[in-house]
Amino acid sequence: MSDKNLLETKISRRGVIKAAAAAGVVQLAAPFIGSARAAEPVKIGLCNPLTGTYAAVGKNELIGCQLAIEQINAKGGIIGRPVTLLVEDSTSGDAGTAVQKSRKLIERDNVNFLLGNVNSALALAMAQVSNEKGVVHIVPGGHTDAITGASCHWNVFRVCNTTQMEAYAVAPELLKKGGKKWYFITPDYAFGHTLQAGLEKAAAKIGAVKVGGDLTPLGATDFSSYLIKAQAAKPDVIIFLPQGNDMINCIKQAVQFGLDKRFHLAGAQQELEALEGLPPEARIGTWVFEWYWNQPGVPHVAEFVAAIKKKTGRVPTARTWFGFASAWSCALAANQAKSLDAHKVAKALQGLKLPPEVALMPEQPFFRAGQNQLIPTLYVGNAQAKGSAGEDDLFHVTEIVKGSEVAGTVEESGCKMVWPS
């Protein structure tokens, strides 16, 4: 299938969403209809970054959650009760704050569901709390494998991809477009470690090799020393794995140094938020996206895009969809279970397929039983300054990858799930 037909039948993309939502607790409950108006609300708690390196992506997940809550309430709520959203700022990198805020949501605010976190290390810390308290917890956008792998819990589910899925989806294209010698610039925490490990594992299968790498601190602003070392290693591809503001700073400086003229600058996970923050000349390289806003022919995507643009003036990003799908997953499972009991809801989530109006992608995503990982579609291609769909078209998709083809098996994930008796 040609690139043109691929885009016409399956997808495309876009940029940064402004989010209103200050630090602290924000409550949202759309006007509720029906006889349950006076019923005690079902509470969904979101503990996510609203400040720091990951503020933009965290706020976009919040916007997706807000739209989902409005839709859920308009359709009768959860088991006939209205739904309200409580929001806490976890910060972008303080696990202690994330744990404290999660405990507050569970113990003081009595939330029925917990959502979060963008930061994988914070998501793992929050999972310990939610498991201790027996609360269903959905991770919208923390990617490290352990969340639904070696550290999996019966009550913790994830919407975004594992790092292994991203690595295996994009590795063949990195070899094809760049070459076999790879140098890694990697954020020094759980997400970066597992993403690099996944890429190294994928590289070994296709004949690519690591020629060097550096670990960078979260929130770094000066990447010059790492870029000088990368240049000296003479790789074919410099692989950029930081996220948020760190990705913007790192790629921008690499282009300022002229490295794009000598090496293929690329990576694995890329975000519209980052591409929007880059100057046009730095929107380059091979990447994998997890959702895209422009998907002609895919049911309900246009309506979703229109609803988000009405709220924010901007098109949705993958993060917006993560938040949207996470909140909707709570409602779908609870309504299927006809209960808010965490054990019953978790059982209902096992194997749950997202309906088209929530899935918003070509392949119907589902939560894989025994691991609690959503298996979606991945989009591989290259960044671009501006595409045919307009100023928001910052990514050109060359391949659509089925999540089931790159997810491995439950056994390979390392998840040994234990259910309460």
Whether 243 is covered by a domain: the verdict is yes
Q: Are residues 149 and 193 in the same domain?
A: no
pLDDT tens for residues 57-86?
999 999 999 999 999 999 999 999 999 999
- 26 and 138 part of one domain: yes
- With a CB cutoff of 8 Å and minimum separation 6, the contacts of 257 are 224, 227, 231
Q: Are strands 209-216 and 181-187 parallel, antiparallel or unpaired?
A: parallel
Domain membership flag for residue 407? no
CA distances from residue 61 to 40, 66, 129, 198 in whole angstroms, order as listed: 25, 9, 21, 25
The verdict on 47 and 144 lying in the same domain is: yes
Give the pLDDT of residue 296.
Answer: 86
Residues 298 and 346 in one domain: yes
Q: What is the CATH number of the domain that holds 218?
A: 3.40.50.2300
Supply the DSSP string of 391-402, one letter for each residue. Answer: TT--EEEEEEEE
Distance CA 387, CA 381 (A): 13
Indicate if 56 and 134 belong to the same structural domain: yes
Is 298 domain-assigned?
yes
Say if 138 falls within a structural domain. yes
One domain, residues 147 and 23: yes
Tally of domains within the chain: 2
Domain for residue 284, yes or no? no
Question: Which regions in the chain score pLDDT beneath 70?
Answer: 1-38
Q: Is residue 240 part of a domain?
A: yes
Cα separation, 281 vs 256, in Å, equals: 10
What's the rounded Cα separation, in Å, for the pair 124 and 114? Answer: 13
C-alpha 329: how far from chain center: 15
Q: Are residues 147 and 177 in the same domain?
A: no
Reduce the DSSP state of residue 151 to 3 states and report it.
coil
Range of the domain at 226: 164-268
Residues 107 and 198 placed together within one structural domain of the fold: no
Domain boundary pick from 221, 250, 268:
268
Q: Which has the closest alpha carbon to 42: 133, 117, 131, 109? A: 109
Tens-place pLDDT, residues 315-357: 999 999 999 999 999 999 999 999 999 999 999 999 999 999 9
Same domain assignment for residues 175 and 92: no
Give residue for tokens 């309430």.
73
**Distance, CA of 372 to CA of 159 (rounded, Å):** 9
Same domain? 170 vs 310: no
Please check whether residue 181 lies inside any domain of the structure.
Answer: yes
Q: What is the full DSSP assignment across 159-199?
A: -SPPHHHHHHHHHHHHHHHT-SEEEEEEESSHHHHHHHHHH
Residues 181 and 126 in one domain: no
Which of 268, 286, 312 is at the close of a domain? 268
Q: Which residue has the tokens 């589910």?
A: 157
Question: Do residues 143 and 168 share a domain?
Answer: no
**CA torsion through residues 144, 149, 154, 159, sign:** positive
pLDDT for residue 387: 86
